[in-house]
């Protein structure tokens, strides 16, 4: 019983931290933060940084679709997880 309560407490704490983590700003995030996003990984994170360096900041989250290797399926996974800031 004690183990079950501890597991429940740990799960609740994890879910709370995820809920409060907020969205990733694709204009300011480093490679590590970008790579942690669903469907991105290290290679696509590097491509995002290169695109950002060559084209300036993203004007909208939808512009991320312009990066090679990021298509509709990846964009769907990223809904509600990314922002371009204010």
| Torsion angle, alpha carbons of 20, 21, 25, 31, to 10 | 180
Domain boundaries, the chain: 23-83
Q: What is the pLDDT of residues 46-71, one digit of tens each?
A: 999 999 999 999 999 999 999 999 99
Contact between 64 and 49 under an 8 Å Cβ cutoff? The reply is no
pLDDT at 7 over 60: no
Contacts of residue 28, defined as CB under 8 A and 6 or more positions apart, other chains included, come to 85
- Return the higher-pLDDT residue of 66 and 22: 66
- Mean pLDDT for the stretch of residues 26-40: 97
Q: Which fold has domain 23-83?
A: DNA polymerase; domain 1 (1.10.150)
pLDDT at residue 86, rounded to an integer? 65
Alpha helices, H only, the chain: 2-21, 31-35, 41-55, 72-78
pLDDT band at 85 (very low <50, low <70, confident <90, very high): confident
- Mean residue pLDDT of the chain comes to 85
Record the pTM.
Answer: 0.74
> Which of the 8 DSSP states describes residue 63?
G
Token pair for residue 22? Answer: 């907020």
pLDDT at residue 45, rounded to an integer? 98
Contacts of residue 74, defined as CB under 8 A and 6 or more positions apart, other chains included, come to 39, 40, 44
């Amino acid at each position: 019983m004690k183990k079950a309560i501890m597991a429940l407490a740990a799960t609740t704490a994890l879910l709370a931290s995820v809920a409060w983590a907020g969205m990733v700003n694709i204009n300011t995030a480093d490679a590590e933060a970008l790579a942690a996003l669903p469907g991105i990984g290290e290679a696509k994170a590097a491509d995002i940084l290169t695109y950002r360096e060559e084209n300036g900041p993203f004007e909208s989250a939808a512009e991320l679709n312009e990066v090679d290797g990021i298509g509709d399926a990846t964009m769907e996974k990223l809904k509600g997880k990314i922002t371009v800031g204010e």
